[in-house]
Structure 1
Amino acid sequence: MSGLLRTISTRTAPALRGSMITQKASVYTRPAKSPISAAETAIGLGVFTLAILGPSGWVLANIESYKKK
C-alpha cells in the first residue's frame, strides 16, 4: 500500500506545485530619482510614529473612562 501511495505522490506532486502562483519582489538596484531631504524624512517618521503610537496613547490616557464602562 505504501508503494502505491509513494508512486501516486511522486507523480502528482509536481503537477500540484506547478499551478501555484510565484511572487516576485520588485527590488530596484538603481538609486532614487530624487534624493529625500531631511525634512521629508522627519515628517515621514513623525507621521508613522503618530499613526502607530497615537491610538495606544489615546487608550492609555482615557483608561479610567474605559474601566467604568
Structure 2
Amino acid sequence: MSALAPRLLSGLTRPARGLIRVQRAPLHARPAREELSLGDKLIAMTTCFLCLLLPPGWILSHMDSYKKKE
C-alpha cells in the first residue's frame, strides 16, 4: 500500500496540462411563436403568488400563535 501512495498522489502535484475547453450549446434568441394573452399572464402571476408568497405570509402573520406554548 505504501508503494502505491506516491504514484497515486503524483497526479495531485503535477501542473495542469493546459486549459479545459468546455463546449457550449448554441443559443439563439427569437420572438415567441405565440403571444400570451392577458388572461394567461394573469393566471400565471396569480399561481406564482399563491404558491410562493402566500404560505410564508401566513406563517409570518401567525407567528405569535406559533410562539405560544399550549
In the superposition, the TM-score normalised over structure 1's length comes to 0.57
- 4+ residue segments displaced more than 2 Å: 22-28
Aligned CA-pair RMSD: 2.6
Identity rate of aligned residues, in percent? Answer: 32
Alpha carbons of structure 1 residues 44 and 27: separation in structure 2 relative to 1, 3 Å: farther
| Cα distance between partner residues in 1 of 2:23 and 2:55 | 33
Bigger radius of gyration, 1 or 2?
A: 2
Q: Which has the higher helix share?
A: 1
Corresponding residue of 1:55: 55
TM-score of the superposed pair, with normalisation by structure 2: 0.56
1:57–1:38 Cα change, 3 Å: same
Aligned length: 56
Distance 1:25 1:68 in 2: 54
Structure 2 runs not aligned, ≥5 long: 1-13
Query: CA-to-partner distance for each residue in 1:6-44, whole Å, 9 max, x for gaps?
Result: xx53xx152xx52x7x47467442211211001111111
